Amino acid sequence: MFLLDRYIFREVLVPMLIGLAVLTFMFVSEELGFLFEIIIRQTATVSELGALVAAVLPRMLTFTIPMSLLVGILTGFGRMSSDNEAIALRASGISMPRIMRPVLLLAVACWAVSLILALWIAPPAAARFGELEHELRMKQASLVVQPRVFNEAIGDGFVLYLQDRDAASLALRGIMLADMRKPEDPTVYFAQSGALLRDESSGEMQFTLANGNWHRAPPQNPSNYDWSKFEKMVIPISIVRPQEARSKEAAEAPTVELWRRMRAGDAGYQELVDFHQRIALPAACLVFVLVGFPLGVSTARGSKSMGLVLSLLLMLLYYVALAGGTSLAEEANFSPFLGAWLPNLIFAAFGVYLLSRSERGFDGGPLARLRSLLDSAAGRVAAVRLARPRMNRWAHSFTHHSKFFRLLDVYVLRGFWFFFVLDLFVFTSLFIIITLFELLPDIVKHNVTASVVLNYFLFLSPQILYWFTPLTVLLAVLMNLGALTKRNEVLAVKAAAISLYRMSAPLLATALLLSAALYFLQDFVLPYSNQRQEAYRNIIKGRAAQTYRDPRRWIVGSGDNRIYHHAYFDAQRNVLNGVSIFEFDPKTFDLRQWVFARIASWNGQSWTMESGWIHRPAADASAYEPFERRDFEGLDAPEYFKTDVRTSAQMTYAELKKYVDDLRQSGFDVTPLTLDLYRKLSFPMVSFIMAIIGVPFSFKTGRKGAFYGIGLSVAVGIVYWTAFELFDRLGGINRLSPIVAAWFPNLIFGVSGIWMMLRVRT
């Protein structure tokens, strides 16, 4: 019987480990760029990097271990059911509890590990991760600020604008720094160059400005204008810790401290929810066994594919119920314990019901009924096709007489599209579940409605498809051709004197079409969907949108020698309230004049300003000129204030190319933007490269099983994504040419795939 235990244990453990690797990498992938940045710039020691990785893993594993266990159970037993092994075990007199024993032992082990991580390791690790990340970002604080946008995250009360930043030295050029810590007495600095550095003695950040001037005009007494030039000025700045870190303070608190605060009655609602979730999430390992085991063995016609799909549906339902339970508990003012444990209670009851039914046999299981519905639908589709002889004759003629589209191509593509849709659904669902889990504390804390969350994921979906289509192509090719190889169908094709190159031609053509589709998705959908999903994400995070998006209170003029600031813009009436206009020399960045008006209205040709003043700094003094009403010509029209400034991800290829050309003509460093421009062409081609790699791999590894192909595709995807991020960072700091950084990963993997394909015995 121990042989049976080892066999079942192995069938569940292999897909579980693959799922654990995929899920954990999805979590870590968001930090890859930051890790590569500090490695390349050598701003962190090896011990700091190790501590950063060690600090981020515990909380991830608390979440990914239960999910991967469910994937392993449903996939492993789905495979056993598809080969009728589950029925053979029952026919041998082995009871369901006996079959379940090794899986239950594995679940208990996963529960114990997850519980230890959640209660004692993850909280201090999360606190340490926030501290380490904050310290490392302060070491390279110049990376936080972005050129040609207004940055408010550098310090409390500061707004920074810079025209350019040297990618290698991180030196800043063309700086405007507004000190708004005292709204009644603001100070504005203009400087030709500067740097944001950390004072090692005090640990504080310092903004060092060179060759500039500062200006102060109290709104209540504008005639008391003060200004001065300087060669060097040091301004201490307290870097604001990201909102994400502040929102996770409850998750960073030690469990013992939360327990003491609960006993004393001092714990807040979020702390109560977090305490119960630390116990409830590991318990999901036990609950998933109750649900996953009977579903995995409930049908003799199940499969690994059905197991993957069902596991994703169950995970999605579980974490949606977790989010809904905590939100409902807060709104209805009932126990946080019930809000955190509600999904476990529901799934446990459902699992007990399924276990009781599984003891009575397999034929009436939920998967069997689902499969019968699918078979019935397939039969109806077949009947409709048989009822159309003309279409059948046309299809027969097309597939038998066309030189480029034969019956074999239809057969190969049918299997490819089945696995492609299935795998894309898997990756998309996994990413949504992971993102939902990450946003869960913010959803509860800020009382975000379900419609906002749904809209966020709706507009995030195109970006998810864009990211995961290449990996899905690789996995679909490996699974499809691997299955054909295992069933000796590839051998039959070769016996019919058909080359394997000809057999794989429709897959390569389809991958090339998918690459073209990704380009059009990137150019016509993503620029608009990314703006919307970013707006909804800001709502979920409970933070105001960036200054350069909404509302656009700070705006750079179209001539690059003027900066606008206003308190409010009435877009319907074309009226600006509390507007300041800073006109400066674009070469020296010296302020020429500062215009202020309480109200500015558009008269069709110019701006009519009321109750304002003009200051023109001079060498010996400052010319002060108040006015009650005055027209100003040559300023930007209202339509300019209504447009949005977008990042490279929110521009089409043509828009970004024009933007890069304009900045290059103005003398700015456009290396990062040029890299983004080339990546808009290189990344869509990854789907075609993945197909080139997948074809020779599938012919060589097809007989080793589907999980070998899945594991191989995951490994290739991780290596490729890591290389893509690494070369992106190297290109961003001028260590590599932008075109080399964008295309070199494609070149490496493409040449490797062609070389392997040429070595395939056709």
Residue 573 reports pLDDT greater than 90: no
Classify residue 602: in a domain, yes or no: yes
Cis peptide before 551 (omega within 30 of 0): yes
Residue 593 reports pLDDT greater than 80: yes
pLDDT digits (tens, 9 = 90+) for 137-154: 666 555 567 787 787 756
Asked if 161 and 150 count as a contact pair (C-beta separation under 8 A), the reply is yes
pLDDT value of position 702: 54
Residue 379 reports pLDDT greater than 60: no
- Residue 38's pLDDT band, with cuts at 50, 70 and 90, is low
Q: Which of 700, 746, 310 is nearest to 478 (CA)?
A: 700
pLDDT digits (tens, 9 = 90+) for 513-533: 999 999 999 999 998 898 889
158 and 267 belong to one structural domain: no
Average pLDDT score over the chain? 80
pLDDT value of position 385: 44
pLDDT digits (tens, 9 = 90+) for 320-375: 777 766 666 665 566 778 878 888 999 999 988 888 877 665 444 454 554 455 44
pLDDT value of position 621: 62
Q: How many Å apart are CA 417 and CA 413, to the nearest integer?
A: 6
60 CB contacts (<8 Å, ≥6 apart)?
A: 23, 24, 27, 28
Lowest mean pLDDT among 28-37, 171-180, 411-420, 625-634: 28-37
Structure tokens that stand for 456 in this block: 């966020």
Classify residue 387: in a domain, yes or no: no
Residue 462 reports pLDDT greater than 80: yes
188 and 316 belong to one structural domain: no
Q: How many Å apart are CA 749 and CA 694, to the nearest integer?
A: 11
pLDDT value of position 245: 41
Q: How many Å apart are CA 492 and CA 489, to the nearest integer?
A: 5
Last residue of a domain, one of 626, 642, 658: 642
Structure tokens that stand for 440 in this block: 């869960």
Asked if 33 and 728 count as a contact pair (C-beta separation under 8 A), the reply is yes
219 and 257 belong to one structural domain: no
- Residue 550's pLDDT band, with cuts at 50, 70 and 90, is very low
Q: How many Å apart are CA 94 and CA 126, to the nearest integer?
A: 45
Last residue of a domain, one of 346, 365, 384: 365
Asked if 130 and 248 count as a contact pair (C-beta separation under 8 A), the reply is yes
132 and 273 belong to one structural domain: yes
Residue 683 reports pLDDT greater than 90: yes
pLDDT value of position 520: 94
Classify residue 388: in a domain, yes or no: no
User: 724 phi and psi, to 5 degrees?
Assistant: -60, -45
Asked if 622 and 227 count as a contact pair (C-beta separation under 8 A), the reply is yes
Classify residue 537: in a domain, yes or no: no
The residue with tokens 């998967």 is 367
Lowest mean pLDDT among 178-187, 508-517, 560-569: 178-187
pLDDT value of position 242: 46
pLDDT value of position 394: 43
Residue 381 reports pLDDT greater than 50: no
Classify residue 326: in a domain, yes or no: yes
Classify residue 543: in a domain, yes or no: no
Q: Please state, in angstroms and as integers, the Cα–Cα distance from residue 420 to each residue in 21, 468, 507, following that order.
A: 20, 11, 11
Lowest mean pLDDT among 35-39, 51-55, 422-426: 35-39
Classify residue 541: in a domain, yes or no: no
514 and 412 belong to one structural domain: yes
- Residue 382's pLDDT band, with cuts at 50, 70 and 90, is very low
pLDDT digits (tens, 9 = 90+) for 45-63: 667 777 777 888 898 899 8
Q: How many Å apart are CA 242 and CA 210, to the nearest integer?
A: 28
628 and 585 belong to one structural domain: yes
Q: Which of 631, 627, 636 is nearest to 608 (CA)?
A: 631
pLDDT value of position 551: 42
Q: How many Å apart are CA 433 and CA 312, to the nearest integer?
A: 9
pLDDT digits (tens, 9 = 90+) for 279-317: 999 999 999 999 988 887 765 444 555 656 677 678 778
Lowest mean pLDDT among 107-111, 128-132, 170-174: 128-132
Asked if 597 and 622 count as a contact pair (C-beta separation under 8 A), the reply is no
User: 179 phi and psi, to 5 degrees?
Assistant: -95, 100
Q: How many domains does the chain have?
A: 4
User: In a 10 Å sphere around its CB, with 0-12 CB exposed, 13-18 middle and 19+ buried, how is residue 759 labelled?
Assistant: exposed
Residue 756 reports pLDDT greater than 70: yes
471 and 617 belong to one structural domain: no
pLDDT value of position 244: 43
91 and 179 belong to one structural domain: no
Mean pLDDT over residues 154-165, rounded?
A: 79
Structure tokens that stand for 752 in this block: 């490797």
pLDDT value of position 361: 54
User: 636 phi and psi, to 5 degrees?
Assistant: -70, 145
Mean pLDDT over residues 717-740, rounded?
A: 83
pLDDT digits (tens, 9 = 90+) for 56-107: 889 889 988 998 998 889 888 877 877 788 788 888 888 888 888 999 999 9
Determine the structural domain holding residue 88 and report its residue range: 2-136+249-365
Comparing 116 with 402, which gets the higher pLDDT? Answer: 116
- Range ranked top by mean pLDDT from 108-117, 267-276, 490-499: 108-117
With residues binned 3-state (H G I as helix, E B as strand, rest as coil), the percentages for the chain, rounded to 5, are 65, 15, 20
Lowest mean pLDDT among 357-366, 431-440, 566-575, 752-761: 357-366
127 and 253 belong to one structural domain: yes
221 and 271 belong to one structural domain: no
- Residue 685's pLDDT band, with cuts at 50, 70 and 90, is very high
pLDDT value of position 134: 66
Last residue of a domain, one of 238, 262, 278: 238
131 and 223 belong to one structural domain: no
pLDDT value of position 105: 94
pLDDT value of position 362: 47
pLDDT value of position 748: 92
pLDDT value of position 668: 62
pLDDT value of position 486: 76
Mean pLDDT over residues 490-503, rounded?
A: 87
Give percent of the chain with pLDDT exceeding 70: 78
399 and 512 belong to one structural domain: yes
